[in-house]
Amino acid sequence: MKQLFELKIEKLAMGGFGIAYHDSKAIFVPYTAPGDVVDVYVTHERKDHSFAKVSRYVSRGEAYTEPGCDAFGGDNPCGGCDWLMLDYQAQVEHKNTLIEGLFSHFIDPAKIYPTIASPLPKHYRNKVFMPVGKDGYKKLSYGIYARWSHRIVPHAACHNHPPVFDSIAQRIMQLCQKAKVEAYDETSHTGSLRHIGFRCSSDLSEILVVLVTRSAKLPFSGLLVKQLTDEFPAIKGIVQNINREHGNIILGDEEKVLYGRDYIFDTLSNTKFQINYRSFWQINIGTMELIMDSIRSRMNPNANVLDAFCGIGAIGLSLAAEVKSLVLLEELPEAIEDAKQNAAMNGIENISFITGKFEDLLPELVEQNCPDTLIMDPPRSGATKESIETIIQSGIKQIIYVSCSPMTLARDLKLLLNSEKYKLQSLQSFDMFPNTWHIECLAVLNRV
């Protein structure tokens, strides 16, 4: 492999890579940051850029801090973190720089507000699924996949989720080892235990445990339930999810509730939610509260609101008391049923529900009763071009666009702004995912 020596990392790129330059060519290097001087070996060569891995850190930049995690960096790093070696304030500043670099060439920089930090830079994740395998001593172990692979990097503790998750996970490994439960092998499609998953409330008073297995058989499950619930009283439910299929999809279609219930309760903006272990729920509620404060400050109390891609209703139901009327739109029937239940639980009545695809139903909704405000929180792929065109042709006065992918947000904003039917009021970024390069954004647009 081609070796390059003493490259200086100049800046960071989307994807979490550090960028150095050699012979006028950009070299993308993971687990590096500006100011680092590194020796690298090239792993992939392209015409105008290359990817490389560090063979030696000659020196580290000013923002370097000791990661404190055996699974981070090194020869076999896990894929959970990109920037654990960076001081947290430096992480936030770099995310701000990435957002400015992506949007400032077509948006007035004065409309791009500085990135808001997460209230919790560590232990912020309220949900995690971790694959199960065997360690070097043929004992059950859990961890996180290495980047771009299905090789499990074992963990003793993770900086991103609550420590209690690891305490429970370690106990599950001990109990399953005694019960002679075999770890799943995806190559041979043998073994049983595939993943262990956790979901918790913001105050850690309620925890769900999920055991993903290849078959319905789980030896000594009654003893496992008793041991876990005796030792960890915050556990409100233990679910066995059965995934009989090959492939890398975590959850299967079958399930058995071994103990308690398959959901927890949590709150967002003083609104109570029932959250199934399958449901989408933002993983960092501290940051989500900041996003809700920002949305709330831009809402018209007399608005008729359409909350598209609503899921179980997190954003819309949290705003319901402060708007005139609310329509929740979601493709998944199960999520709409959960949203209805959450609305009833909170006594929300100025609301209606529609099941279907946003791009299919939007033209009819606009024609029947055009909403004043459209709230969008689409998947990472963003909105379709057809639905953006429908929005442009509509009379919707305000768009509130929440995005977990700055790149697809940039694509969609260009379409909206180039139509000259909308102008940007503000673009605010939030750190929903500390220690990674990922960034949550909130864009607010008004009809011209």
Token pair for 425 = 């009021």
Token pair for 57 = 């850190």
Give yes or no for residue 85 having a pLDDT over 80: yes
Long-range contacts made by residues 169-175, C-beta under 8 angstroms, separation at least 24? 169/130, 169/142, 169/196, 169/198, 171/227, 171/228, 171/231, 171/232, 172/142, 172/196, 172/209, 172/211, 172/224, 172/228, 173/132, 173/139, 173/140, 173/141, 173/142, 175/220, 175/223, 175/224, 175/227, 175/228
Between CA 57 and CA 40 the distance in angstroms is 9
Token pair for 436 = 């990674």
Helices (H) and strands (E) in the chain, counts: 9, 23
Q: What is the DSSP letter of 14?
A: T
Instruction: Give the confidence band of 135 by pLDDT, cuts at 50, 70, 90.
Output: confident
CB contact at 8 A, 382 and 359:
no
CB contact at 8 A, 132 and 195:
yes
Q: Please report, for residues 186, 272, 335, the alpha-carbon distance to residue 339 in angstroms, rounded to integers and kept in the order given.
A: 36, 11, 6
For 162, phi and psi rounded to 5 degrees?
-60, 140
pLDDT digits 0-9 by tens, 325-346: 999 999 999 999 999 999 999 9
DSSP letters, 137-178, are: TS-EEEEEEBTTS--EEE-S--SSS-HHHHHHHHHHHHHHHH
Token pair for 155 = 């963990």
Give yes or no for residue 270 having a pLDDT over 90: yes
Instruction: Give the confidence band of 237 by pLDDT, cuts at 50, 70, 90.
Output: very high
Calculate mean pLDDT across residues 402-420. 97
Give yes or no for residue 74 having a pLDDT over 80: no
pLDDT digits 0-9 by tens, 116-125: 999 999 999 9
CB atoms within 10 A of CB 231: 11
Please report, to the nearest 10 degrees, the dihedral formed by the alpha carbons of residues 357, 361, 362, 364 taken in order: 180
Calculate mean pLDDT across residues 155-162. 93
Q: Chain-centre distance of CA 20, in angstroms? A: 28
DSSP H or E run through 53: strand 49-59
Between CA 32 and CA 18 the distance in angstroms is 5
Sheet with strand 11-12: strands edge to edge: 3-8, 37-45, 49-59, 25-29, 18-22, 11-12
Give yes or no for residue 247 having a pLDDT over 90: no
Q: Which fold has domain 3-64?
A: OB fold (Dihydrolipoamide Acetyltransferase, E2P) (2.40.50)
Between CA 328 and CA 305 the distance in angstroms is 9
Q: Does residue 404 have an active-site annotation?
A: yes
Closest CA to 358 of 277, 412, 282, 407: 412
Q: Is the dihedral of CA 335, 342, 307, 441 positive or negative?
A: negative
Q: Give the count of alpha carbons within 13 A of 82, CB side only.
A: 19
Beta strand pairing call for 193-200 and 207-213: antiparallel
Token pair for 135 = 């360690």
Q: pTM for this structure?
A: 0.95
pLDDT digits 0-9 by tens, 172-195: 999 999 999 999 998 899 999 999
Calculate mean pLDDT across residues 62-73. 91
Token pair for 153 = 């990097």
Q: For domain 127-267, which architecture applies? A: Beta Barrel (2.40)
Q: Do domains 94-120+284-447 and 127-267 have the same CATH topology?
A: no
For 341, phi and psi rounded to 5 degrees?
-65, -40
- Strand partners for 136: none
Give yes or no for residue 27 having a pLDDT over 90: yes
CB atoms within 10 A of CB 2: 11
Query: Range with the lowest mean pLDDT among 63-77, 107-121, 163-177, 246-260?
Result: 63-77
What pLDDT does 137 receive?
67
Give yes or no for residue 136 having a pLDDT over 90: no
Locus of tokens 């043929």: 138
Average pLDDT of the chain, as a whole number = 95
Q: Which of 69, 158, 200, 404 is catalytic?
A: 404
What pLDDT does 1 receive?
75
Q: Please list, in sequence order, all residues whose beta carbon lies within 8 angstroms of the beta carbon of residue 340, skipping any fewer than 6 positions away.
A: 353
Q: Please list, in sequence order, all residues whose beta carbon lies within 8 angstroms of the beta carbon of residue 203, skipping any fewer than 6 positions away.
A: none
Between CA 389 and CA 330 the distance in angstroms is 19
Report angle CA 366, 367, 369 to the nearest 5 degrees.
65
For 147, phi and psi rounded to 5 degrees?
-60, 135
Q: How far separated are the first and last CA of the chain, in Å rounded?
A: 56
Q: Which fold has domain 94-120+284-447?
A: Rossmann fold (3.40.50)
For 314, phi and psi rounded to 5 degrees?
-55, -55
Token pair for 287 = 């940051």
Domain residue limits, the chain = 3-64, 94-120+284-447, 127-267
